[in-house]
Amino acid sequence: MKLSAIDDYSTFLYHQGTNYSSYRLFGAHFTSYKRKSCVRFAVWAPHAQQVSVVGDFNNWDDRMDRMTASSYGNGIWVAYIEGLQEGDIYKYAITTSSGDVILKSDPYAFASELRPGTASKLTKLHYHWKDKNWQRDCQNYDSYKNPMLIYEMHLGSWRRNAAGDVLTYREIAQQVVAYVKDMNYTHIELMPLCEYPFDGSWGYQITGYFSVTSRYGNPEDFMYFVDVCHRNHIGVILDWVPGHYCRDAQGLRFFDGQPVYESENELLAENQEWDTMNFDYGRTEVQSFLISNALFWLTQFHLDGLRIDAVANMLYLDYGHGAGPWQSNAYGGRENLDAIDFLHKLNTAVFAAIPQTLMIAEESSAWPLVTKPVDVGGLGFNYKWNMGWMNDMLKYMSLDPIYRKENHNLVTFSLCYAFSENFILPLSHDEVVHGKRSLLNKMPGDYWQKFAGLRAFYAYWMAHPGKKLLFMGCDFGQFIEWNYNDSLDWHLLEYPMHHALHDYVRELNAYYLEHPELWQEDCEWSGFSWISCDDCNNSVIAFYRRGRENNLMTVVLCNFTPIVRHSYRVGVPEKGVYAEVFNSDAERFGGSDVCNTDAFVSEDIPMHGQNQSMVLTLPPLAVIYLKMQSEITDNGTEKI
């Protein structure tokens, strides 16, 4: 890696918040100084009286390797130390303004000690990438017009070895890729992998923003994981947490004895609900730190996107304060103006450097224009998780079908705003923990009805506008909630219904990939039309998805009750011959096999606002897809 010189220019950019490769300036880098091999250490500690580098190599004696305050920057400390090797551990011993000495991990370290150790580790980022073809193809990739089926993973609990130990990045790479390819996913989304001290935080409370967690190996091992994914045409997205950080003593909190990365105002600095610290987005050095970190993962690790966690915590000053006090902005509002400016700056910088990046906001409020460009007043992301759709649908699907007719709006309301943003429809880890139950166990009814309800939900979800995300284990019907400290229950695949559900998800994913009408126009009304959205008494909805070409169309009918709807007349958009091409109630998927085996010729009977209609059977707790096989014109039947 090419280092940045510690000079007027690089430090000026850092202090004004525009040094977007500050990891080349700070941290520990192997280099040469005065013609001697050494490691250059640099850290920003503006309130420190003195800083030293300590480690096993000097018996953790803060008198040995003292750093010098750089003449180029406010609070930048530098040292050149000879005789160090990769793998050596170190910390900064910082003498605070009050004279106390505190030990801190390096905010810019590229590797960290395995928990419960908290030291930083010397390393070089050296890996020979083999994903040139992927990188070339990505330059012309338009995610809006392509399918996106994201498999969300927690690496430590996807699968473990016979002894119950976690797999390394290298051990898991081939297994994950084989699985994801077999199941027809297009992307993997990894829960946070920046170094974190507590397993139970799942990686969302970080101490080492530039360190890939040592739980599963070293940085080169993770590069290998990404490389294997890319060589198999699988994109990799990483959960990234710039919204808050943990309070652990070795981390960023009170880094030099005083607030550095957090605000001096306690009400702004702390998220009381999560017992974490908020970044001070108005501090320019923090802007350089975070934007550099985003670009570090995207460039050095070839990641294809970042899913930004807890954006609402960044946007709202009262977030996480409950009924307690909070600090309003200069205009008396609850909006965090510094955070808004930071997000503008972040997304502008990322897209300027790597235009095809996926920048995905996990934003749970109704904040407008999240996925609109900064120059038209948006936050600048290109995707947002549709949390409203997720909450409504999980509430609806958890209801006993007898009560669904009174809650029909939970199914239909999402189309009132489906094209206001570029959405991803998430069925994530957050929905299968903390007593919420697994997706399968949310479904009401007996054993058969639970599987039928989940199959119907998945087929409806797949046809709804928006890209897709599914958490691991949900594709074979994990019955218990997700446990970060144990492997998924892969043995469930030995049971017929779970095996059938697994086959179902694979085939449903394949249908999605093979039918452009389900993803070409995800962000436009032109790709979706209601047929029937008001049949609440039968808990039935019907709509169709259309692609860019006129002959690309799938008609979708959903029956959210366990009652078979015989002789159900439904309108269709065009005159022609239709056939059922996918049925979630098929016997091979564990269903009751109520299928429409014959083709349907549409009739000149108006229905549901359409000039044509036909009569068919709706299977129980099921969704069917129809395709027009032939178009009927004045000259006769023409094959599509």
Opening angle at CA 551, ends 547 and 556, nearest 5? 65
- pLDDT > 90: what percent of the chain? 95
What pLDDT score does 630 carry? Answer: 86
Please give the distance of CA 150 from its chain centroid, rounded to a whole number.
9
CATH of 526-639, one of 2.60.40.1180, 3.30.70.3400, 3.40.50.920, 1.10.1740.10: 2.60.40.1180
Under DSSP, the state recorded for 162 is T
Q: Which two tokens stand for residue 219?
A: 């940085």
What pLDDT score does 272 carry? Answer: 87
What pLDDT score does 637 carry? Answer: 60
Using one digit for the tens of pLDDT, what is the confidence trace for 214-249?
999 999 999 999 999 999 999 999 999 999 999 999
Query: Is the separation of the CB atoms in 110 and 68 below 8 Å?
Result: no
Domain spans in the chain, listed from the N-terminal domain onward = 8-121, 526-639
638 confidence band (pLDDT: 50, 70, 90)? low
Strand ranges inside 165-304, DSSP E: 187-190, 194-195, 208-212, 235-240, 270-271, 276-277
Mean pLDDT score, 183-208:
97
Q: Which residues are catalytic?
A: 309, 362
SS3 labels along 31-65? EEECCEEEEEEEEECCCCCEEEEEEHHHCCCCCCC
Under DSSP, the state recorded for 590 is T
What pLDDT score does 549 carry? Answer: 83
Is residue 635 over pLDDT 70?
A: no
Higher pLDDT, 346 or 550: 346
Question: What average pLDDT does the chain have?
Answer: 96
Q: Are 8-121 and 526-639 in the same CATH fold?
A: yes
Selection from 326, 336, 328, 422 nearest residue 373 by Cα = 422
Mean pLDDT score, 542-560:
93
Is residue 113 over pLDDT 70?
A: yes
What pLDDT score does 228 carry? Answer: 98
Mean pLDDT score, 504-521:
97
Q: Does domain 8-121 have CATH number 2.60.40.10?
A: yes
Mean pLDDT score, 502-521:
97
Residue 290 to residue 296: CA distance in whole angstroms: 10
- pLDDT > 70: what percent of the chain? 99
Residue 513 to residue 519: CA distance in whole angstroms: 8
Mean pLDDT score, 294-315:
97
Q: Which two tokens stand for residue 520?
A: 């070409």
73 confidence band (pLDDT: 50, 70, 90)? confident
Residue 455 to residue 288: CA distance in whole angstroms: 46
